[in-house]
Amino acid sequence: MTLNIDESRMKRELIIIYKNFLKNPEDSSIHQLAIVYDRHYGGISSYNDIMSKLVISKELEQAINGLSAIYQYGLHNSEHEAFSNEKIIKIAKEILQKLKSLKK
């Protein structure tokens, strides 16, 4: 089984999604883009668990998995432990920094 994944392209696209989200976290078009991207690529990270060699880097896996936090922005009150808006912004900033530091 061969998977051809352009990690450089994926990194660029994820950076755009996270940057745009951080510019305007309430923009529903960004939430929709995150949902579409997650539906398209979300299963890739599962391969990292079952393959002997990583299919994508751990940083890209974390960024893909973090997309669900983006589209949950605004759905929970500030007391929600995992998905308060402040926590989602913090997670998005951390993921964006890791993406920017990737060498691909």
Q: For the chain, which residues make up each domain, given as ranges?
A: 7-101
Higher pLDDT among residues 26 and 47, named by residue: 26
Average model confidence (pLDDT) for the chain? 86
> Residue 52 above 90 pLDDT?
no
Predicted local distance difference test score (pLDDT) of residue 76: 64
CA 78 to CA 23: how far, in whole Å? Answer: 20
Predicted local distance difference test score (pLDDT) of residue 94: 96
For the chain, the straight-line distance linking the first and the last C-alpha, in angstroms and rounded, comes to 23
Of 84, 63, 81, 65, which is closest to residue 73 (Cα–Cα)?
A: 84
Predicted local distance difference test score (pLDDT) of residue 19: 97
